Structure 1
Amino acid sequence: MRTRDGDRLTRMPWRALVASTAALVVALTLAASPSTGRPPVSERTFALAPAGAGADLPNPLRGQYRWFGAEPTPSTVTSNDVYYRDQVYWGRIEKADNAWDFSLIDAGLADAGARGGKFGFRVMAYCPGCWMNFRADFPAVTPPFVALQPGTDVPDWNSPAFLAQWQELMAELGRRYGDDPRLGYVDVGGYGSYGEWHVGDGARISDANGLAVVEAVTNAFPTKHVLINTMTPVEFTLAALRANPNLGLRTDSLGCPDMYSMVAVDKRLQKAWRTRPFFSEWCTRADPVLGAQQVRRFHVSTLSSGNMPWDHASLDARQRSAYATALATAGYRLRLRSLTLPRSIDAGDRIAVRTSWVNQGSAPTYDRWDVRLTFTRNGTATTVSLGDQLRGVIDSSRRRTRVAVPGLRKGRYDVSVSVVDPTGYSAPMYLANAGRTSSGSYRVGSVSVR
């Protein structure tokens, strides 16, 4: 046979021609048929209905928490997390050296536990002008065994004695509560006025000693979120974040200009929310419209109504709408958009499950949640895990997981999905989907097993 090579005819050897033709046939055959010899799997995508934009999602470590006994505002919003600060200052839980009284921390944990929420606390070492200073029946905020700066009532932040006592306190708290599932986070506290890491009088703490104060808390609670107030100098805060993987941020002034926080002036701190939580509370002069904007801009996870400067009923329509938006969007607000399954399943087979998620909130969840798929028929349920799909989801996410579905007999099965706390403490996550069942799951549809 001849082929044309440019304008010149050449002769192709017949053996080469046969080999070339055979290779072409094999290639076309492989392209036309799957290598497994099985037909392509027919799939069905189930779209799940969304919940309303302002639907109440009472999940832990997001939205509104209870602060100093204040009831939720408005009362229609669920608030299960509990935060203590004034109740558990240092002089109250350690009146004398190693004379511990943790009854109030126990009470806070019990309160949060009864609600199915998480507890957080801050230990203050210094609280100038605070109410307890004017009550003879309350111990001093600064314990009598803590060294003071000469001629003042300000702790001697840089003395080895202060640091040693602080480390001892945190170690004892960690031994008692470090593994308690009801405990969600610990404010570093310790240093500065109100434990907010700023001082009005006396010498400030050195950076080295400041890092030691932080590390005493993160070392005592290595599996919990630990927060430092963002009134600290930027470079110090960045150094603390680098040194402590479980350290997040806090500001006490949501709704005030720039939250009186260094986060607003530094882009590096503004990126921390992607992997570290950022908690807040309303400023005593807060503007709810500005606060709602800050929740989105700075990716705030939690906020509190404990010291709001206004009554909710007194807000005008624009302020009330902004306040509702702040509550609804603070933290994670995850919705399952769709779930894709084979139309039919062979008993005992492994199947591909595809999920599509969207986070309508301001921040991700920073904790592990297990996504589970349940097949139910005639009252018998088989559940399989799709794994930790949601931690760190910021905007949207698509996942594909292959799972075995053992024990399924022939028949038609109802399928539901749930997002479960692997520790068994928290209730299944409330998703931004309609149709939550009493068990905390969401119905997807049905499939057949052959």
Structure 2
Amino acid sequence: MRLSWRSVTSLAAAVACLASLLGATASPPAYGAGSERTFTLAPLAGGTDLPNPLRGQYRWLGAEPTPATATSNDVYYRDQVYWGRIEKADNAWDFSLIEAGLAEAGARGGKFGFRVMAYCPGCWMESRADFPPVTPSFVPRQSGGYLPDWNSPAFLSQWKELMAELGRRYGDDPRLGYVDVGGYGSYGEWHVDAGARISDANGLAVVHAVATAFPTKHVLINTMTPVPFTLKALKAHGNLGLRTDSLGCPDMYSMVPADVRLQEVWRTRPFFSEWCTRADPVLGAQQVRRFHVSTLSSGNMPWDHSTLTDRQRSAYVKALATAGYRIRLRSMTMPDAFAGGGRIAVRTAWANQGTAPTYDAWDVRLTFVHAATGRSVTRSLGQQLKGLVATSTRSVMVRTSGLPAGRYDVFVSVVDPSGYSVPMHLANAGRSASGAYRVGGVKVR
């Protein structure tokens, strides 16, 4: 039997009416709620620095932030923590410099990252008799006695042992944000200009040792590796992201511009960088946006900021301001009056004005502060921001139990669930000393 459009419409209306009579509801009610109101929050100026962890500029080689108005709380070590310095003899550990880096980042409220180099040709420490060699004496060498024997079972075993010890000590430290894979190649950058190269199987074993030693941290592999190898490593380890050491140089001297699959990795995993020694700040700013770079450093910066042209200086500042996540709460919608003891619908609208999402868990929290007594009640809106790009809208039912009648000021904050990092700096004006942002006022009946 075929029904006309008018018959179908009438039937649907009858079903809806019957459901209404039987008390059916499509979603839980917002008990005692009055009319909804949308509160909007003022934005910050576009170039205002947001000193959040694992975004923007990090400290490396003791370089102060450039320009001085930029905040740089994250800390990165490489020269300080090469293999021969933290393990002078087999199992003779010296982690004092790892501890120093963690302490420095912790004092700033930032995150620490490091790379262990096994080979550093031409580096300063190799010419100093008072410093141990980069490659420990117990690591086997290739013929000629200088290059590590990358494919030796002994090299792989010692590397795995080193990473396991580092992971055991620091894998759960909230101050540690990420670890470069390092290990193989000149400067730990996964390229060599002499001797035998590592096999794919052994290269994957080097990556595996780091990724499994730090399963809850971001682990980064340098993108000078061949694309098929990098894709295999990424597939094998969900915590593995990317790094390039040549921001501002052509194609960043990396394989990312050559493959669209690598260009999509940023959606779920971080891409960190540093300025190339011959960097063009205009090109670098374009690359930050195009390839969704989260962090960069001035440690290798080849020019003095004061000598840049206006165009170059503007591009450099833009690169710092937009690298990584830059999240703004556009609005929050909720009833402007409601009864306590029930639930209300709260909708949030967000915008990420940066180049990449945050890859960590942040809890969005709503706090009601009684205008007369100052008593506060906080409710979680959940982890709404992980992976946010462009814009999004979220809706959550919030319990209103514990809210006596009266007027309330409503605040929102974005909190690190571990309690280590301060609440996220949003691209909104009006941040309080506690890291919260006032949304508006409501009434509880």
TM-score where L is the length of structure 1:
0.93
Aligned residue number for residue 229 of structure 1: 222
- Aligned letter for 2:147? V
Displacement of 1:27 after TM fit?
A: 2.7
Is 2:406 aligned against 1:416?
no
Deviations 1:36-61 (CA, angstroms, capped at 9, x unpaired): 79898510000110000011100000
Deviations 1:169-188 (CA, angstroms, capped at 9, x unpaired): 00000000000000000000
Within 2, Cα distance between the matches of 1:316 and 1:39?
60
Which consecutive segments of 4 or more residues in structure 1 shift more than 2 A?
23-31, 33-41
Equivalent position SS for 1:268: helix
Equivalent position SS for 2:260: coil
Within 2, Cα distance between the matches of 1:447 and 1:278?
42
Displacement of 1:30 after TM fit?
A: 3.9
Q: Does structure 1 conserve the Cα–Cα contact (< 8 Å) formed by 2:325 and 2:352?
A: yes
Deviations 1:97-132 (CA, angstroms, capped at 9, x unpaired): 000000000000000000000000000000000000
Aligned residue number for residue 375 of structure 1: 368
Matches within 5 A, 1:90-101: 90-101=83-94
Q: Which has the larger Rg?
A: 1
- Aligned letter for 1:27? C
* Residue among 163, 180, 183 paired with 2:176: 183
- Aligned letter for 2:291? F
Aligned residue number for residue 138 of structure 2: 145
* Residue among 243, 248, 258 paired with 2:241: 248
Aligned residue number for residue 356 of structure 2: 363
User: Unaligned stretches of 5+ in structure 1?
Assistant: 1-19
Q: Does structure 1 conserve the Cα–Cα contact (< 8 Å) formed by 2:34 and 2:335?
A: yes
Within 2, Cα distance between the matches of 1:379 and 1:57?
29
Equivalent position SS for 2:114: strand
Within 2, Cα distance between the matches of 1:236 and 1:345?
57
Is 2:381 aligned against 1:386?
yes
Q: Does structure 1 conserve the Cα–Cα contact (< 8 Å) formed by 2:422 and 2:435?
A: yes
Q: Matched residues, percent identical?
A: 76
Displacement of 1:234 after TM fit?
A: 0.3
Deviations 1:391-443 (CA, angstroms, capped at 9, x unpaired): 00011110000111211011110000000000000000000000000000000
Q: Does structure 1 conserve the Cα–Cα contact (< 8 Å) formed by 2:31 and 2:342?
A: no
Is 2:330 aligned against 1:337?
yes
Is 2:43 aligned against 1:50?
yes
* Residue among 109, 118, 140 paired with 2:111: 118
Aligned residue number for residue 200 of structure 2: 207
Q: How many equivalent residue pairs?
A: 429
Displacement of 1:152 after TM fit?
A: 3.7
Within 1, Cα distance between the matches of 2:240 and 2:92?
29
Deviations 1:250-306 (CA, angstroms, capped at 9, x unpaired): 000000000000001100000000001000000000000000000000000000000
- Aligned letter for 1:429? M
Equivalent position SS for 2:320: helix
Displacement of 1:379 after TM fit?
A: 1.3
Within 2, Cα distance between the matches of 1:218 and 1:310?
35
Aligned residue number for residue 399 of structure 1: 394
Within 2, Cα distance between the matches of 1:349 and 1:124?
58
Aligned residue number for residue 431 of structure 1: 426
Aligned residue number for residue 303 of structure 1: 296
Equivalent position SS for 2:264: helix
Equivalent position SS for 1:138: coil
Task: Call closer, same or farther: CA 1:26–1:433 in 2, change over 3 Å.
Answer: closer
Q: CA RMSD in A?
A: 1.9
Task: Call closer, same or farther: CA 1:26–1:295 in 2, change over 3 Å.
Answer: closer
Task: Call closer, same or farther: CA 1:159–1:343 in 2, change over 3 Å.
Answer: same
The answer to which structure, 1 or 2, has the higher relative contact order (CA under 8 A, 6+ apart) is: 2
Within 2, Cα distance between the matches of 1:287 and 1:105?
32
Within 2, Cα distance between the matches of 1:162 and 1:178?
22
Q: Does structure 1 conserve the Cα–Cα contact (< 8 Å) formed by 2:415 and 2:423?
A: yes
Matches within 5 A, 1:271-290: 271-290=264-283
Is 2:306 aligned against 1:313?
yes
Q: Does structure 1 conserve the Cα–Cα contact (< 8 Å) formed by 2:33 and 2:344?
A: no
- Aligned letter for 1:349? G
